[in-house]
């Protein structure tokens, strides 16, 4: 399965500059992946009028082999949502996509958007 990477925008550590999230939003794809920078990544979803989507955030097995996927969570129209931060131990993939968080979507209506930021 090929996941499409989402650019993670970094906030200034001293708070001197902001992140223009409005410009960072891009249409979701069938499946996205987001780099989880030290567990400090936030994922934003923006839905406009008439846009909805169900989002599932995939976990990895914990030390006992349990999975704890988040969702699917239904996102309704005309809203802004934020998820995170994510514990690397529970959400970072390994192998080819080491350090990434996987996201999958169902029941997509129109083109909701995604952006990511590390803090």
User: What are the extents of the domains in the chain?
Assistant: 4-9+24-118
pLDDT at 109 over 70: yes
Q: Could you tell me which CATH class the domain 4-9+24-118 is placed in?
A: mainly beta
| pLDDT, the chain, mean | 93
Give the residue-averaged pLDDT of 63-83: 93
Q: Residues 93, 99: contact at Cβ < 8 Å?
A: yes
**Strand pairing class (31-35; 113-118):** unpaired
Cis status of the peptide bond prior to 85, with omega within 30 of 0: yes
**Cα(56)–Cα(65) distance, integer angstroms:** 19
Q: For residue 13, what pLDDT band results from cuts at 50, 70 and 90?
A: confident
* pTM of the complete model: 0.93
Cis status of the peptide bond prior to 72, with omega within 30 of 0: yes
Give the residue-averaged pLDDT of 43-72: 92
Give the residue-averaged pLDDT of 39-58: 96
Q: What pLDDT is stored for residue 1 in this prediction?
A: 66
């Amino acid at each position: 399965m090929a996941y499409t990477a989402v650019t993670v925008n970094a906030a200034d550590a001293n708070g001197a500059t902001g992140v223009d999230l409005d410009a960072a939003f891009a249409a979701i794809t069938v499946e996205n992946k987001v780099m989880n920078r030290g567990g400090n990544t936030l994922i934003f979803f923006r839905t406009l009028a008439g846009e909805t989507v169900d989002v599932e955030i995939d976990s990895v097995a914990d030390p006992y082999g349990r999975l704890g996927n988040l969702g699917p969570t239904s996102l309704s129209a005309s809203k802004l949502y934020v998820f995170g931060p994510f514990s690397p131990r529970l959400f970072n993939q390994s192998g080819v996509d080491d350090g990434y968080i996987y996201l999958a979507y169902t029941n997509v209506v129109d083109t909701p958007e995604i952006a990511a930021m590390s803090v």
